[in-house]
């Protein structure tokens, strides 16, 4: 399954649609909780990818393999 790309220039409706599509794929793959963020953020590009990398560095100091809950990620993503 190919995840839909998200570039970060879309509006709130597109944010919700992207999250729904990503969640559907992750559920279909029986993706474990600890891998969801890595797989979802792989589908970010452009402005959205820069935003995520900056946020990850600022909030988590760029620490590799830090556990972020999916619900926390989706809340941050919606904000």
DSSP 4-60: PPB-S-S-HHHHHHHHHHHHHHHHHTT--HHHHHHHHHTTB-THHHHHHHHHHHHHH
Q: Has residue 75 got a pLDDT over 80?
A: yes
What is this structure's pTM?
Answer: 0.84
Residue 52, CA distances (Å) to 1, 6, 37, 46, 49 in order? 23, 11, 11, 10, 5
Q: Has residue 1 got a pLDDT over 70?
A: no
pLDDT digits (tens, 9 = 90+) for 17-62: 999 999 999 999 999 999 999 999 999 999 999 999 999 888 877 6
**What average pLDDT score do residues 3-22 get?**
91
Q: Has residue 63 got a pLDDT over 80?
A: no
Query: What's the pLDDT at 8?
Result: 86
Residue 66 lies in a domain: yes
Residue 1 lies in a domain: no
Q: What range defines the domain where residue 46 resides?
A: 9-78
Residue 3 lies in a domain: no
């Amino acid at each position: 399954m190919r995840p839909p790309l998200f570039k970060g220039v879309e509006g709130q409706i597109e944010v919700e649609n992207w999250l729904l599509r990503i969640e559907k794929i992750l559920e279909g793959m029986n993706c474990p909780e600890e891998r969801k963020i890595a797989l979802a953020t792989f589908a970010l590009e452009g402005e959205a990818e820069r935003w995520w990398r900056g946020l990850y560095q600022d909030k988590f100091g760029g620490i590799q393999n830090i556990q972020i809950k999916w619900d926390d990620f989706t809340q941050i993503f919606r904000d």
